[in-house]
Amino acid sequence: MTSATTPLPTSKPQPSPTRDVTRDLLVDLARAGALGIVVVWHWVFTTIRFGSDGPHVGNPVGVTPGMWLATWVLQPMPIFFAVGGVLHARSLANGTEGFRRRRMRRLLVPALPLLVPAVVLALGAAALGRGDIVASIILIISPMWFLAVYVALVALAPFAWRGHCAAPRATLAAMIGLAAVLDVARFGFGVGGPLMTVACFTAVWAVVHQLGFHLDALRASGLARRTAVAVGGIVALAVAVSVGPYPAAMVGVPGERVSNMAPPTFAVTLLAVFQLGLLAACAGPLERFAARHRDGLAWAGRWSMTVFVWHLLAWVGFYAVLRSTGTPVTGDVSGAWWLARPLWLLGPSAFAVPLCALTARFDPSNRRSA
Count the neighbouring beta carbons within 10 Å of the beta carbon of residue 330.
12
Q: Is residue 281 part of a domain?
A: yes
* Whether pLDDT at 369 is above 60: no
pLDDT on residue 54: 84
In a domain, 234, yes or no: yes
Query: Is residue 315 situated within a structural domain?
Result: yes
3-state secondary structure 324-360: HCCCCCCCCCCHHHHHCCCHHHHHHHHHHHHHHHHHH
pLDDT for res 171: 97
pLDDT digit string, tens, across residues 163-180: 999 999 999 999 999 999
The per-residue pLDDT for 10 is 47
pLDDT attached to residue 222: 95
pLDDT at 6 (0 to 100): 42
Establish if 153 belongs to a structural domain: yes
Tell me whether residue 331 is in a domain: yes
Q: Tell me the pLDDT tens digit for each residue of 184-215.
A: 999 999 999 999 999 999 999 999 999 999 99
User: Percent of the chain having pLDDT more than 70?
Assistant: 93
3-state helix, strand and coil shares in percent for the chain, rounded to the nearest 5: 70, 5, 25
pLDDT, position 366: 66
Question: Is residue 13 assigned to a domain?
Answer: no
Kindly tell me if the per-residue pLDDT of 15 is higher than 50. no
What pLDDT, on a 0 to 100 scale, did the predictor assign at position 64? 93
Residues 146, 77: Cα–Cα separation, whole Å: 9
**pLDDT tens-digit profile of 246-273?**
999 999 998 888 999 999 999 999 999 9
Inter-residue contact 315 to 46 (CB < 8 Å):
yes
Q: Residue 362: inside a domain, yes or no?
A: yes
Least Cα distance to 290 among 38, 31, 16 occurs for 31
pLDDT of amino acid 95: 83
Distance between CA atoms of 325 and 57, rounded to whole angstroms?
21
pLDDT, tens digit, 9 for 90 and up, residues 41-53: 999 999 988 878 8
Q: Which residues contact 347 (CB under 8 A, 6 or more apart)?
A: 318, 321, 322
Higher-scoring residue by pLDDT: 57, 230: 230
pLDDT at 328: 82
264 by Cβ neighbours in 10 Å (0-12 / 13-18 / 19+) ranks as buried
Q: Residue 53: inside a domain, yes or no?
A: yes
* Residue 134 · residue 54 · CB < 8 Å: yes
State the pLDDT at residue 367: 55
The number of CA neighbours under 13 Å toward the Cβ of 346 is: 4
Domains held by the chain: number:
1
pTM: 0.89
Q: Please give the average per-residue pLDDT across 120-144, as a whole number.
A: 93
Predicted confidence (pLDDT) at residue 364 exceeds the cutoff of 70? yes
Residue 255, pLDDT score: 82
- Give the domain range for residue 48: 25-110+138-367
